[in-house]
Amino acid sequence: MSVATAAASPQTSTQPVLLFVHGGEQKTVSLEKTPFSIGRKTDRDLVIPDSRVSREHALIVAENGEYYVVDQGSRSGTFGGNGTSCRPTTAWISGRTTSPG
């Protein structure tokens, strides 16, 4: 079961955004810096207060103009839109949908 769905997509400017969906809530978050951290800890850039999300769940990193989601060894894992698992240090190309555990 997905806790949240995130998709990185470019705005009309060069700054990418993250579309965060959690239940009925949906918000757009600007990726102002990388790495961009995701997890339950309050010092994360995107805090997801759900027990299925690890304290330090994943990072979004930029490399050569592309954005990647990197699982940080979370217990529940991070999954791509096609249901495949994103193992620690495995990157997913921007524009895909990912879900924490």
Specify the pLDDT at position 67.
Answer: 79
Contact 67, 60 (CB under 8 A): yes
Specify the pLDDT at position 15.
Answer: 75
CA gap 67, 9 in Å, rounded: 9
Q: For residues 9 and 22, which has the higher predicted lDDT (pLDDT)? A: 22
pTM: 0.71
Tokens 């990157």: give the residue: 91
Specify the pLDDT at position 21.
Answer: 80
Specify the pLDDT at position 95.
Answer: 54
Is residue 12 classed as helix, strand or coil in its secondary structure? coil
As given in the structure block, the two tokens for residue 14 are: 């060069």
Catalogue all structural domains in the chain, each as residue range(s) with its CATH number.
5-100 (2.60.200.20)
Specify the pLDDT at position 81.
Answer: 62
CA gap 55, 57 in Å, rounded: 6
Specify the pLDDT at position 42.
Answer: 96
As given in the structure block, the two tokens for residue 12 are: 């009309």
